[in-house]
């Protein structure tokens, strides 16, 4: 069987599409896993998005702990005799898949940007060396565990007529010695850079927090309204919340238009925005790496360019 | 308190060149260094030792020349180094099993510290995988640690939420870059490191016959085909050209 699991249902929908393709080629069933309460509505949604069956490991545990969730998955894999396990690559998913691989002592590949069968063996591609190369890797043994980030695959169109079985089971799993004391939602400005069609981003070239208003003004003018940033702005200076952060450890985006202002173009940042449609760079350093990854660029002081560009854009599109 | 820090020698990705024709990275001759976030893990270990006392062992799986890198870690404040020389073929299955065997050889431990991921591959697999193999609790993406005699409390950055997790020992913790600023050793410390022991073990003496479960078929280049049109002259003129181009591209609505 092919198993799909993510605690983020949007990623699960996407994985079900690819999972279905792999399962079909292997002549196996596609099972979507839920760990938690028996949610019939969600189960039906998973079936509508391509799952043959939904396997619910019923538990009262509501806080994610990789140790316990890995134990559940270990049981489910054995119970369903699954050999291909596809897990959503968010932070929880990555540590879960890695731990599970250690528990089962099997092969695992994190952050696949593609998966397919080659000579009947599960094969994957992933970005390595900060976005400078793609590593093509293949499993020579089973079970095989892969994780896939959001937005790599599109979901199937939802088909409410699809039917499937819902299997419920309880497992007695070992509790972890760790305790979750507190879960606090991160200060978020409700931004979703991953869904944005136009993003204007800022980096170290900005001298103070207030100056980011120039980026917001430009974003508003192009009707993009979405502001992104590089690592220092979110992680070190904390001028913007982390939901703005674009890069290898931040969000990966692919808008139609990406404007990078005052961003030098460290490979870690490029890795997060390289799939954008048109990339525009504004930087005072003509040698800045960002120009190599850009379609259009202006060399100059962003403090002069941004307000002028905002007015020019307003004039153009009215 | 016994602390083991897992550190990986990696190529310095910022020094890596790409072949202009094949677009493939050129890996030969690139300077090597300890993966940045592993240094944060060691720094955190040193801070714990300063408060609680104990011993820090750094564990590296790498080529013979990784000894030089381990010396840097000993200079920073680790007490002892263990170098497992890399087998010919390896994947995370092989690496995590070698780490686990080496750790059993090292003996009693309270905390294993790792970076959240290495800067070359950026999988973040080794740490939690090792915790699974050893069947001990794991705390990932730690941004702040408070270590007491019998437990550790960690603030973790989980992206959309901040999670505080507590665990007894033994525990494996992975840290992020934001947790601290790794110290630079003094000249005295660098000289002193020469007297600290580094135990070298070859992989097949540790466990024989480990074969990878994942094989790399190919390292492909990434083509970043961009127009690279850069306006450098008069700013007003540059802006007007840019706006025209963007309008033609159909991205201005």
> What's the complex ipTM?
0.92
Is residue B246 domain-resident? no
pLDDT above 70: residue A187? no
pLDDT above 90: residue B78? yes
pLDDT above 80: residue A189? no
Q: Does B22 touch chain A (CB under 8 A)?
A: no
Q: Does A256 touch chain B (CB under 8 A)?
A: yes
Q: Note whether B25 contacts A132, CB cutoff 8 Å.
A: yes
Domain boundaries, chain A: 2-169, 193-317
pLDDT value at position B196?
Answer: 97
Confidence (pTM):
0.87
Q: Note whether B132 contacts A100, CB cutoff 8 Å.
A: yes
Cis ω before A143 (30° cut-off from 0): yes
Instruction: Give the three-state DSSP class for B226.
Output: coil
At A252, the pLDDT band (50, 70, 90 cuts) reads confident
Nearest CA in chain A to B222: A133
Measure in Å the smallest separation between the Cα of B140 and chain A Cα atoms.
Answer: 7
Query: Other CB atoms closer than 10 Å to residue A157's CB: what's the count?
Result: 9
pLDDT above 90: residue A316? no
Is there a contact between A123 and A116 (Cβ–Cβ < 8 Å)? yes
As a whole number, mean pLDDT of residues A73-81 equals 97
* Higher pLDDT, residue A305 or A188: A305
As a whole number, mean pLDDT of residues A132-145 equals 95
Q: Which residues of A touch B245 (CB under 8 A)?
A: 296
Q: Which residues of B touch A242 (CB under 8 A)?
A: 157, 159
Which of A109, A177, A312 lies at the smallest CB-CB distance from B243?
A: A312
| Gap between the Cα atoms of A234 and A237, Å rounded | 6
Lowest mean pLDDT among A122-131, A158-167, B131-140: A122-131
pLDDT above 80: residue A22? yes
| Gap between the Cα atoms of B210 and B90, Å rounded | 8
Q: Note whether A133 contacts B24, CB cutoff 8 Å.
A: yes
pLDDT value at position B170?
Answer: 98
pLDDT value at position A317?
Answer: 84
Is residue B214 domain-resident? no
Q: Does A175 touch chain B (CB under 8 A)?
A: no
Is there a contact between A115 and A121 (Cβ–Cβ < 8 Å)? no
Instruction: Give the three-state DSSP class for B110.
Output: coil
Q: Which residues of B touch A200 (CB under 8 A)?
A: none
At B244, the pLDDT band (50, 70, 90 cuts) reads very high
**CATH class assigned to A193-317:** alpha beta
At B16, the pLDDT band (50, 70, 90 cuts) reads confident
Domain with B142 in it: what CATH number? 3.40.50.620
Is residue B36 domain-resident? yes
pLDDT value at position A290?
Answer: 93
| Gap between the Cα atoms of A306 and A128, Å rounded | 34
pLDDT above 80: residue B253? no
Q: Which two tokens stand for residue A158?
A: 């939802």
As a whole number, mean pLDDT of residues A303-307 equals 96
pLDDT value at position A110?
Answer: 97
At A55, the pLDDT band (50, 70, 90 cuts) reads very high
Q: Note whether A132 contacts B171, CB cutoff 8 Å.
A: no
Q: Does B28 touch chain A (CB under 8 A)?
A: no
| Gap between the Cα atoms of B27 and B15, Å rounded | 10
Q: Note whether A98 contacts B128, CB cutoff 8 Å.
A: yes
pLDDT value at position B159?
Answer: 77
Over residues B135-153, the pLDDT tens digits come to 999 999 999 999 999 999 9
Count interface pairs A-B at CB distance under 8 A: 270
Is residue B18 domain-resident? yes
Among candidates B5, B12, B109, B113, which has minimal Cα distance to B60?
A: B5
At B47, the pLDDT band (50, 70, 90 cuts) reads very high
pLDDT value at position B118?
Answer: 95
Mean pLDDT of chain A: 94
Q: Which two tokens stand for residue B217?
A: 């078929």
Superfamily of domain A2-169: HUPs (3.40.50.620)
Measure in Å the smallest separation between the Cα of A160 and chain B Cα atoms.
Answer: 31
The residues pairing with B220 across neighbouring beta strands, listed in sequence order, are A134
Structural domains of chain B, count: 1
Measure in Å the smallest separation between the Cα of A48 and chain B Cα atoms.
Answer: 28
pLDDT above 80: residue A318? no
pLDDT above 90: residue A68? yes
At B222, the pLDDT band (50, 70, 90 cuts) reads confident
Among candidates B33, B49, B90, B29, which has minimal Cα distance to B214?
A: B90
Compute chain B's Rg from CA coordinates: 22
Measure in Å the smallest separation between the Cα of B190 and chain A Cα atoms.
Answer: 29
Q: Does A108 touch chain B (CB under 8 A)?
A: yes
Q: Note whether A295 contacts B228, CB cutoff 8 Å.
A: yes
Q: Note whether A299 contacts B131, CB cutoff 8 Å.
A: no
Domain that holds residue B135: 2-206
Q: Which two tokens stand for residue A283?
A: 């930087």
At B68, the pLDDT band (50, 70, 90 cuts) reads very high
Is residue B157 domain-resident? yes
As a whole number, mean pLDDT of residues B72-89 equals 96
Compute chain A's Rg from CA coordinates: 22
DSSP string, chain A: -EEEE-SSHHHHHHHHHHHHHHHHHHT--EEEEEEES--HHHHHHHHHTT-SEEEEEE-S--S--HHHHHHHHHHHHHHHT--EEEEE-SHHHHHHHHHHHHHHT-EEE-SEEEEEEETTEEEEEEEEGGGTEEEEEEESSSSEEEEE-TTSSPPPPP-TT---EEEEE----PPPS-EEEEEEE-------GGG-SEEEEE-TT--SGGGGHHHHHHHHHTT--EEEE-HIIIIIS-SS-GGGBBSSSSB----SEEEEES----HHHHHHHTT-SEEEEEES-TT-GGGGG-SEEEES-HHHHHHHHHHHHHHHH-
pLDDT value at position A188?
Answer: 65
* Higher pLDDT, residue B18 or B75: B75
pLDDT above 80: residue A128? yes
Lowest mean pLDDT among A61-65, B182-186, B213-217: A61-65
Q: Note whether A178 contacts B235, CB cutoff 8 Å.
A: no
> Are the folds of A2-169 and A193-317 the same?
yes
Which of B222, B230, B231 lies at the smallest CB-CB distance from A132?
A: B222
Q: Please give the C-alpha separations between residue A34 and each of A72, A116, B127, B128, B201, in angstroms, as whole numbers.
A: 10, 24, 25, 22, 44
pLDDT above 70: residue B35? yes
| Gap between the Cα atoms of A108 and A112, Å rounded | 10
Q: Which two tokens stand for residue A68?
A: 């316990």
As a whole number, mean pLDDT of residues B57-61 equals 98
Is there a contact between B201 and A94 (Cβ–Cβ < 8 Å)? no
Lowest mean pLDDT among A9-13, A193-197, B171-175: A193-197
Nearest CA in chain B to A273: B224
Q: Which residues of B touch A309 (CB under 8 A)?
A: 239, 242-243
At A191, the pLDDT band (50, 70, 90 cuts) reads confident
Is residue B225 domain-resident? no
- Mutation for testing the A interface, residue in B37, B215, B230 having most A CBs under 10 Å: B230
| Gap between the Cα atoms of B89 and A245, Å rounded | 36
């Amino acid at each position: 069987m092919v198993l799909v699991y993510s605690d983020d249902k949007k990623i699960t929908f996407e994985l079900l599409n690819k999972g279905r393709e792999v399962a079909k080629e292997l002549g196996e069933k596609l099972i979507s896993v839920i760990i938690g309460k028996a949610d019939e509505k969600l189960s039906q949604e998973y079936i509508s998005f391509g799952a043959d069956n939904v396997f619910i490991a019923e538990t009262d545990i509501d806080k994610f702990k990789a140790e316990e969730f890995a134990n559940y998955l270990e049981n489910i894999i054995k119970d369903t005799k699954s050999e291909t396990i596809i897990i959503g690559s968010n932070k929880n998913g990555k540590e879960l898949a890695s731990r599970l691989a250690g528990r089962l002592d099997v092969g695992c590949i994190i952050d696949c940007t593609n998966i397919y069968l080659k000579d009947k063996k599960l094969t994957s591609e992933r970005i390595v060396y900060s976005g400078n190369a793609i590593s093509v890797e293949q499993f020579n043994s089973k079970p095989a565990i892969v994780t896939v980030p959001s937005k790599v695959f599109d979901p199937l169109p939802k088909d409410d007529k699809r039917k499937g079985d819902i299997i419920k089971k309880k497992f007695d799993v070992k509790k972890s010695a760790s305790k979750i004391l507190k879960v606090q939602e991160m200060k978020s400005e409700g931004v979703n850079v991953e869904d944005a069609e136009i993003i204007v981003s800022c980096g170290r070239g900005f001298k103070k927090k207030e100056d980011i208003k120039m980026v917001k003004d430009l974003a508003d003018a192009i009707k993009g309204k979405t502001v992104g940033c590089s690592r220092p702005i979110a992680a070190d200076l904390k001028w913007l919340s982390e939901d703005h952060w674009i890069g290898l450890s931040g969000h990966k985006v692919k808008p139609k238009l990406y404007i990078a202002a005052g961003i030098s173009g460290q490979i870690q940042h490029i890795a997060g925005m390289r799939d954008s449609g048109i990339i525009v760079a504004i930087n005072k350093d003509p040698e800045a790496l960002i120009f190599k990854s850009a379609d259009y660029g202006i060399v100059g002081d962003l403090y002069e360019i941004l307000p002028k560009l905002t007015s020019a854009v307003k004039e153009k599109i009215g | 308190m016994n602390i083991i820090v897992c550190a990986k020698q990696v190529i310095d990705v910022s020094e890596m060149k790409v072949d202009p024709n094949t677009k493939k990275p050129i890996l030969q001759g690139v300077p090597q260094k300890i993966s940045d976030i592993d240094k944060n893990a060691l720094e955190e270990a040193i801070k714990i030792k300063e408060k609680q006392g104990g011993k820090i062992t750094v564990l590296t799986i790498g080529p013979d020349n990784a000894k030089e890198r381990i010396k840097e870690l000993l200079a920073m404040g680790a007490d002892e180094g263990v170098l497992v020389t890399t087998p010919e073929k390896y994947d995370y299955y092989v690496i995590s099993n070698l780490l686990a065997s080496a750790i059993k050889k090292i003996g009693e431990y309270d905390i294993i510290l790792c970076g959240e991921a290495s800067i070359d591959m950026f999988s973040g697999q080794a740490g939690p995988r090792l915790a699974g193999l050893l069947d001990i609790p794991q705390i990932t993406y730690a941004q702040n640690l408070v270590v007491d005699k019998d437990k550790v409390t960690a603030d973790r950055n989980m992206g959309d939420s901040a999670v505080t997790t507590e665990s007894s020992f033994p525990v494996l913790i992975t840290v992020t870059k934001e947790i601290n600023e790794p110290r630079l050793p003094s000249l005295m410390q660098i000289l002193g490191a020469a007297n600290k022991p580094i135990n070298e073990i070859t992989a097949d003496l540790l466990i024989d016959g480990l074969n990878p479960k994942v094989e790399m078929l190919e390292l492909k280049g990434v083509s970043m085909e961009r127009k690279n049109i850069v306006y450098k002259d008069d700013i007003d003129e540059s802006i007007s050209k840019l706006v025209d181009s963007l309008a033609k591209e159909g991205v201005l609505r």
